[in-house]
Amino acid sequence: MQLTVGISEMKVSTDPKDTLITYSLGSCIGVALFDPGAGVGGLIHCMLPLSRLDPDKAKKNPQMFTDTGVPALIQTLLDRGGTRKRMIAKVAGAASPLNDNGMFKIGERNYVVLRKVLWKNEILIAAEDVGGTVARTMSLHISNGKTTIRSGGKESEL
């Protein structure tokens, strides 16, 4: 079954028939986390880097922010039998407009915050497709952890 992950949402599955997909990753960051040993995978689509922007909104919806959403994703995988050591992280998004004069560095900041969260959790980024000005669609197949990126009409494995 194809499960769509909306903006500021995450989905986690252990069903090998499931594919998790998220559309229109612009400056947002998408993280596909997969534990092959436990057969559990999750996908998150975070919009903004830091929850301190609006702690009330972060409380209601931690997935909106990279610094609260990604730890929530890791924890959910742990709760479903995953272990940090086996987790494979793949990352996409973090684009910016063309002449980014600092005001729209949201993509770059999303990526920096993500690296910090993963580093704290001792999870390495196995593959990434980040930056530039393109919008990306990201999918995670729960059967084997295969992660694909679609951008500009072309699809490739990450």
Q: Which residues bind other proteins (CB under 8 A)?
A: 6-8, 23-28, 45, 47-48, 53-54, 57, 64, 95-107, 133-137, 150-153
Name residue, tokens 């689509």: 45
Dihedral sign of CA atoms 153, 33, 20, 11 in order: negative
Cβ-based nearer residue to other proteins, 40 or 92? 92
Would you say 28 or 117 has its CB closer to other proteins?
28
Task: Give the nearer residue to other proteins in terms of CB position, either 133 or 143.
Answer: 133
CA-based radius of gyration for the chain: 14
The nearest distance, CB 116 to other proteins, in angstroms, is 18
| Tokens encoding 138 | 């990201």
Nearest-approach distance from CB 54 to other proteins, in angstroms: 6
Rounded least distance, CB 122 to other proteins, Å: 29
Which helix (H) or strand (E) segment holds residue 38: the answer is none
User: How many Cα atoms are found within 13 Å in the side-chain-facing hemisphere of 117?
Assistant: 24
